[in-house]
Every structure is written in C-alpha cells, then in structure tokens.
A and B are shown apart, each in its own frame.
Chain A
Amino acid sequence: AQTVTQSQPEMSVQEAETVTLSCTYDTSENNYYLFWYKQPPSRQMILVIRQEAYKQQNATENRFSVNFQKAAKSFSLKISDSQLGDTAMYFCAFMKPRGVTGGGNKLTFGTGTQLKVEL
C-alpha cells in the first residue's frame, strides 16, 4: 500500500515571500501521479498542480511549482509571491492508475500542512 507523509503540520510565510511545503511518499510502483490540493476555510478541495511520474520536467502553474525527485520519492510544492488568499490547508496526494488487474485510480492523501500567509 502507498503512504504519503507531510511532516509539517503548520507553516507560516510573509506576504510576497516564497514558501516550500514538503511531501514524501512510499510506493513500489513506477507509473503514478502526484497531486497537490488546496483546502481554504470554505473546505472546498481545489486542485493546485499535478505531476506524472514518467515526466522528468517539474510541473508549474503560475506561482505554484513542484520539485519532483522520483528516486528520493519526494514531491515538494513551492509557492512564490505568497498571497493572503493562499492561506489554506494543503494536501499532497498519490495515485496509481488503474491497470488491467484492477484497483488503482484512487487518491491516497497525506495529513496536510496548514499554511498561513501573514501581512
């Protein structure tokens, strides 16, 4: 079974600064997907960024980028130019695609990192 670990329960950052959230995972799979979801106080789960394991290039979405280290099984999220609206719980998640033997296509989540952006 896959496991996802987020070792930072809480973090804070000053507005306009850069912050990095850590995530490690454990799997024996070679083909998989990794995601970061954001959950603001409204509790809505919002996809921030995704990464396919077969792609060496790190994914980026505007101010959000990842550092994907496949051998180290590490998937950190960098938020640049932090904004007050970035205050949220951030979840790292792992997915093994469904194969011919079934299973898969399920997200396994870490326990989350609560990020607070301060003035």
Chain B
Amino acid sequence: DAGITQSPRHKVTETGTPVTLRCHQTENHRYMYWYRQDPGHGLRLIHYSYGVKDTDKGEVSDGYSVSRSKTEDFLLTLESATSSQTSVYFCASGKASSGNTIYFGEGSWLTVV
C-alpha cells in the first residue's frame, strides 16, 4: 500500500472557524485527491491535483480550497466551517504508471458543532 498519511485524524471544531486537513504521501505520486464520505452518497470528489500548483475542482468544491506546494503534500482548507461539512475526509494519491490505481489514506473525521 502507498504511504499516505492524513492529519489530524479526528477534529471537532466550531461553526465559522477555519480548518486545514493535511495529506502527505511518500510515493512521489503525481495525482492527489480529497474526497468526502457521507451516508448514502459514497465518496464524492472535493478537489484534486495533477501536479504541483495544479489543482481543479471536483463535484462538491463549494466552501473548500486546496493547495499543493510540494509533490508530497496536499492541503484541504475549510475557510469557515459549517455543520454540513461534518464528514469523513479521505485523501488519495496515484500515478498513471501504477495503472491509474488510486490509493487512500485512513480518513479524517471532522465534526463541526
């Protein structure tokens, strides 16, 4: 399995506060992703990156921003957290030479109260 670590793994925050989730991968993967998982929806793509400083929006990007200044790190920021952003967040990474297989981190549980 790919070395993908997420931090923090669990966080409780208050409505209106900014939150940053960090993803770190040691596989030199070109592509990195942030997904959220909610009951009845499977995993939905928030943002993704196809290279350093190259990012694009996914299907549920409103209220989120990302940054990728190094190959190994991909940050997800909730500018002003809302209760609807309570979810489990998964980081993932992959590269074309691995058969386009995408590997996932262990998830970050975020609760917005």
Q: Are A33 and B40 in contact (CB under 8 A)?
A: no
Nearest to A112 among chain B residues (CB) is B42
Indicate whether A109 sits within 8 Å of B43 (C-beta atoms), given known contacts A47-B103, A97-B100.
yes
Q: How large is the interface on B (under 10, 10 to 19, 20 to 34, 35 or more residues)?
A: 20 to 34
Q: Residues of B at under 8 Å CB distance from A?
A: 31, 33, 35, 37, 40-45, 48, 50, 56, 58, 88, 90, 92, 94, 96, 99-104, 106-107
Q: What are 12 A-B contacts defined by CB distance under 8 Å?
A: A33-B100, A44-B104, A45-B90, A47-B103, A52-B99, A95-B100, A98-B96, A102-B50, A105-B31, A109-B44, A111-B40, A111-B42
Contacts of B42 in A (CB 8 A): 91, 109-112
Q: Residues of A at under 8 Å CB distance from B?
A: 33, 35, 37, 43-45, 47, 50, 52, 91, 95, 97-98, 102-103, 105-112
CA distance in complex: A45, B91 (Å): 10
Q: Are B43 and A106 in contact (CB under 8 A)?
A: no
Q: Are A106 and B48 in contact (CB under 8 A)?
A: yes
